Chain A
Amino acid sequence: MENEMQLLNISEYNFEQCLKCSICTVYCPVSGVNPLYPGPKQAGPDGERYRLKDPKFFNEQLKMCLNCKRCEVACPSGVNVGDIIQKARMKYASHKPKLRDQMLANTDLVGSMATIVAPVANFFTSLGVSKEILHSVMKIDKHRTFPAYASQKFETWFKRNAQSKQDKYAKHVSFFHGCYVNYNFPQLGKDLVKIMNACGYGVHLLENEKCCGTALIANGLYDQARSQGESNMSSMRSAISKGRTIVTTSSTCTFTMRDEYHHLLDVDNHDVRDHITLATRFLWQLIDEGKLKLAFRPDFKMRVAYHTACHMERMGWVVYSTQLLRMIPGLELTMLESMCCGISGTYGFKAENYETSQKIGAPLFAAIDALKPDCVSTDCETCKWQIEMSTSVKVLNPISIIADALDVEKTIELNKNH
């Protein structure tokens, strides 16, 4: 008592703050559908007590954790349950990543090979035959529709059609587009450029963008994740030195670079973190400060249901995307109950996880099918794959909806004097 020991006793990830209340278990998407997973409390703070004594208490089943962080959001005591679990995997797992895991994890490598031969790749992945082979040889589940590869990468489009026009703007941002925009859905990147340009901002690529590494972390390729993280930080530092904010359109890439780099990979991002932001947040903050105005088409009408992606929930930034969407006069917004869709990046692509993945998402799919909105909006690209595969509704990033609803001429006019 004299030396007030307890006040000094704060451990990494707030491990010692656990009250054993089990609330994290209520919100873990995996523990409710797969009893082979020990659950957040047991895999996290409870198991950690044993692992600290003897690493032999490490349980390989921890790889079933989605790293969705819903346990952390739910914990009333501030325990970073998900971090404890991921860190334990990094420290103790003996299981080595398989070829399949390496392929799924290398979203940029596989993406760039596939873009060259996109039509062929799309053709094969849509054929039952090759899915059987993927399923039996690679253990990539045959029920999955693979995200289609675009025939032209976003970067290629940007360099050919947009880059030269960007310097004429008075203000500038850098865009971390991520693998999804680059290889699978360049339209989202084009939508962002359209909005930013209308608002008077030039958009620039980073000097050397690498995949954020979230899939590498999930698949146990930590060294590669770390070195890509270091490389991204250095590209971003150079953009920041030119006074540019780094905007993104993916909640998971954003979360990984802002929080996981530091918490899990020991990548020093302290000087970069605050400069990385979601495009919706960037826009909303400018509007809030009176530095930006958006004008929308009067004829725009859409019934939108917003799905809260796990890492968006963890970042606590849902409010920016939804408040921005609410500014569109013809848009009717419904909040879907926040829950995991089950895909968790590459997790749901693995044959051994397919069933768990679909079971996790089932209540969300049922809610969407019952609501029948014109579209679902979410800030995460893998949720888009999962929801589009599992429901009849299309999914759009808030940025794409805003780009569609935007009255470009009027917006340019409104922001001329800012």
Chain B
Amino acid sequence: MKFDTVIMGGGLSGLTCGIALAKAGQRVALVSAGQSSLHFASGSFDLMGYDAQGAPVSNPPEAIKALPEQHPYKKVGDIAALAEQAQQLLLEAGIGTTGTATANHNRLTPLGAFKPTWLTTEGYVTIDGDKLPWTKVALMNIIGYLDFPTKFIADGLRNAGADVEIKPITLPELNEARKSPTEMRATNIAKVLGNQEVVTRLAAEINAKAGDAQVVLLPAVLGIKDDKLAQLLKQQITKPLHFVATIPPSVPGTRMQALLRKRFEALGGMFLNGDKVVAGTIAGDKLHNVTTEKLEGTKLVADNFVMATGSFMSRGLVSDYKKVYEPILGVDVDYIAERPQWTQNDVFDAQPYMEFGVRTDNQLRVAKDGTTLANVYAVGQILSGNNKLKLCNGEGLDMLTALAVANTIKK
């Protein structure tokens, strides 16, 4: 099967690259083994929240200048321009966001902390600076829903200057769903609340409980497909309503996954869901084709290939007792040979293994046994030289490296 580009991995980086290439008229196939870490998404996109010393960043493109030369951000070119391209790509996929690359705002985490971020999905709690614009907040707590630590969140809001009241809410449907306590997850609640009639009753319940608060905050449990029901709820609530990110699985993340895939397919992209790239045929300095678990004999042939298979959790990288390796092609990986040095004892310290990843040249092309593969690029979390937890830059790194590679391939 012949394509212009084959992308391995269907998370944020793979889909971003796929959409950009398909939009440019390329025939693109994307192979994705299992669902991606978008399902843990907060609803915000981080570009660079903290610098290498741990200080909060307000202007990411400026702060990125101070990163070491081998950092992947140093290989993508104009950060602000790519960031704008990324925001536009999200919008075209049906994901409206607020924010801009050159001025971070703060998002509210599921554990009640405020962290600097670049873009936030419309409708989610954000603040500029560290003071909330409201003094009286009603925090809605769905009875029986465990993945929403209201006390932590209320504490975080109080620290930011608000008076918070936690209001338990429920509906017959939600009570029914509690029969399966382990499945009382954000995404299942979103399915239970998934029609207009239920949302209308939810609005009545919220209006009845909101009291004299200026604003209502609700865990992000609405809109697993698109944001229509969230809009409907907003219209029916007498006070401004904002969503708060929850513990995964994440409703905005699941929605983004679905919307990005839909956009990619609408542009003519071929999404091979639940299949896994297992090997490739290299001839000279080029990859000729890859094979997958499910297509067995059918080879996917392409002019260019993009590895977007993620880090350890997604198995883009694999570790064993002796080494860290990339399992599809065995391309060159940067890691520390001595295993005891992979980790630091304190779990909250920057962990060295977080920076392990595939080695790339300045165009983000990978190498095998020291030779650059002329048509194989790497994007997203599989790249070496970045600690996304420390720098708070996961989504930005995914999208900007993906767009940079798409721009190179298009040329």
Point out residues on A near B: beta carbons under 8 Å.
1, 4, 6-7, 19, 21-23, 25-27, 31-33, 35-39, 41-42, 46, 72-78, 274, 285, 288, 313-319, 322-323, 335, 337-338, 363
The smallest beta-carbon distance between A317 and chain B, in angstroms, is: 7
Sorted nearest first, the 9 A-B pairs with minimum C-beta distance are A316-B294, A73-B274, A32-B191, A76-B34, A35-B179, A35-B180, A316-B275, A39-B183, A26-B187
B188 touches A31 (CB 8 A): yes
Considering the complex, give the chain A residue whose CB is closest to the CB of B265: A335
Residue of A21, A22, A26 most packed against chain B (CB within 10 A):
A26
B249: chain A residues within 8 A (beta carbon): 21-23, 25-26
The smallest beta-carbon distance between A281 and chain B, in angstroms, is: 8
The smallest beta-carbon distance between B33 and chain A, in angstroms, is: 8
Give Cα A4–Cα B319 distance, bound, in whole angstroms: 13
Out of B258, B265, B270, B293, name the residue touching A316 (CB < 8 Å): B293
| One of B89-97, B129-137, B295-303 at the interface | B295-303
Give Cα A389–Cα B362 distance, bound, in whole angstroms: 57
A77 touches B34 (CB 8 A): yes
Out of A41, A274, A317, A337, name the residue touching B258 (CB < 8 Å): A337
Known contacts A35-B177, A39-B180, A76-B36: A316-B1 contact under CB 8 Å: no
A285: chain B residues within 8 A (beta carbon): 297-298
Q: Does B197 interact with chain A (Cβ within 8 Å)?
A: no
Give Cα A52–Cα B210 distance, bound, in whole angstroms: 48
Q: Does B254 interact with chain A (Cβ within 8 Å)?
A: yes
Considering the complex, give the chain B residue whose CB is closest to the CB of A31: B183
Give Cα A74–Cα B274 distance, bound, in whole angstroms: 7
A74 touches B182 (CB 8 A): no
Q: Does B208 interact with chain A (Cβ within 8 Å)?
A: no
CB-CB contacts below 8 Å: B75-95 with A: none
The digit string for B243-275, where 1 denotes a CB below 8 A from any CB of A, is 000001100001000100010010000101111
Q: Does B178 interact with chain A (Cβ within 8 Å)?
A: yes
B34 touches A38 (CB 8 A): no
The smallest beta-carbon distance between A120 and chain B, in angstroms, is: 41
Out of B182, B248, B294, name the residue touching A42 (CB < 8 Å): B182
B29: chain A residues within 8 A (beta carbon): 319
The smallest beta-carbon distance between B343 and chain A, in angstroms, is: 14
B295 touches A316 (CB 8 A): yes
A22: chain B residues within 8 A (beta carbon): 185, 248-249
A316: chain B residues within 8 A (beta carbon): 272-275, 292-295
B35 touches A319 (CB 8 A): no
B294 touches A1 (CB 8 A): no
Q: Does B212 interact with chain A (Cβ within 8 Å)?
A: no
Main SS class of interface, B: loop
Give Cα A180–Cα B274 distance, bound, in whole angstroms: 27
User: Can you add 13 more A-B contacts, CB < 8 Å, to A26-B35, A75-B35?
Assistant: A4-B320, A23-B249, A25-B185, A26-B249, A32-B191, A37-B183, A39-B182, A42-B182, A73-B34, A285-B298, A314-B274, A315-B294, A319-B295
Considering the complex, give the chain A residue whose CB is closest to the CB of B175: A35
Q: Does B100 interact with chain A (Cβ within 8 Å)?
A: no
Considering the complex, give the chain B residue whose CB is closest to the CB of A24: B35
B180 touches A76 (CB 8 A): no
A23: chain B residues within 8 A (beta carbon): 34-35, 39, 249
Considering the complex, give the chain B residue whose CB is closest to the CB of A308: B273
State which size class the interface on B falls in: 35 or more
The smallest beta-carbon distance between B263 and chain A, in angstroms, is: 12
A-B contact pairs, 14 of them (CB 8 A): A4-B320, A31-B180, A37-B180, A41-B182, A78-B33, A285-B297, A288-B298, A313-B274, A318-B272, A319-B29, A319-B270, A319-B295, A335-B265, A338-B273
CB-CB contacts below 8 Å: B352-393 with A: none
The smallest beta-carbon distance between A412 and chain B, in angstroms, is: 26
Out of B35, B40, B183, B298, name the residue touching A27 (CB < 8 Å): B35
The digit string for B19-36, where 1 denotes a CB below 8 A from any CB of A, is 000000000010001111
B275: chain A residues within 8 A (beta carbon): 316
B315: chain A residues within 8 A (beta carbon): 76-77
Point out residues on B near A: beta carbons under 8 Å.
1, 29, 33-37, 39-40, 176-180, 182-183, 185, 187-188, 191-192, 194, 225, 248-249, 254, 258, 262, 265, 270, 272-275, 292-298, 313-315, 320-321
A7 touches B313 (CB 8 A): no
The smallest beta-carbon distance between A199 and chain B, in angstroms, is: 19
A76: chain B residues within 8 A (beta carbon): 33-37, 313-315
The smallest beta-carbon distance between A322 and chain B, in angstroms, is: 8
Considering the complex, give the chain A residue whose CB is closest to the CB of B40: A21
Considering the complex, give the chain A residue whose CB is closest to the CB of B247: A22
A38 touches B180 (CB 8 A): yes
B176 touches A35 (CB 8 A): yes
Considering the complex, give the chain A residue whose CB is closest to the CB of B38: A23
Considering the complex, give the chain A residue whose CB is closest to the CB of B39: A23
Considering the complex, give the chain A residue whose CB is closest to the CB of B224: A26
Give Cα A322–Cα B35 distance, bound, in whole angstroms: 22
Considering the complex, give the chain B residue whose CB is closest to the CB of A22: B249
B292: chain A residues within 8 A (beta carbon): 316
The smallest beta-carbon distance between B324 and chain A, in angstroms, is: 14
The smallest beta-carbon distance between B13 and chain A, in angstroms, is: 15
Give Cα A226–Cα B179 distance, bound, in whole angstroms: 36
B254 touches A26 (CB 8 A): yes
B40: chain A residues within 8 A (beta carbon): 21
A313: chain B residues within 8 A (beta carbon): 273-274
The smallest beta-carbon distance between B251 and chain A, in angstroms, is: 9
Give Cα A38–Cα B180 distance, bound, in whole angstroms: 6
A35 touches B34 (CB 8 A): no
The smallest beta-carbon distance between A131 and chain B, in angstroms, is: 28
A36: chain B residues within 8 A (beta carbon): 179-180
The smallest beta-carbon distance between A138 and chain B, in angstroms, is: 28
Considering the complex, give the chain B residue whose CB is closest to the CB of A29: B191
Give Cα A58–Cα B34 distance, bound, in whole angstroms: 27
B176: chain A residues within 8 A (beta carbon): 35
The smallest beta-carbon distance between B356 and chain A, in angstroms, is: 18
The smallest beta-carbon distance between A366 and chain B, in angstroms, is: 10
Give Cα A33–Cα B177 distance, bound, in whole angstroms: 8
Residue of B292, B293, B296 most packed against chain A (CB within 10 A):
B296
Give Cα A23–Cα B314 distance, bound, in whole angstroms: 13
Considering the complex, give the chain A residue whose CB is closest to the CB of B180: A35
A35: chain B residues within 8 A (beta carbon): 176-180, 183
Give Cα A186–Cα B273 distance, bound, in whole angstroms: 31
Considering the complex, give the chain A residue whose CB is closest to the CB of B262: A337
B39: chain A residues within 8 A (beta carbon): 21, 23, 26
A42: chain B residues within 8 A (beta carbon): 180, 182-183
A338: chain B residues within 8 A (beta carbon): 273
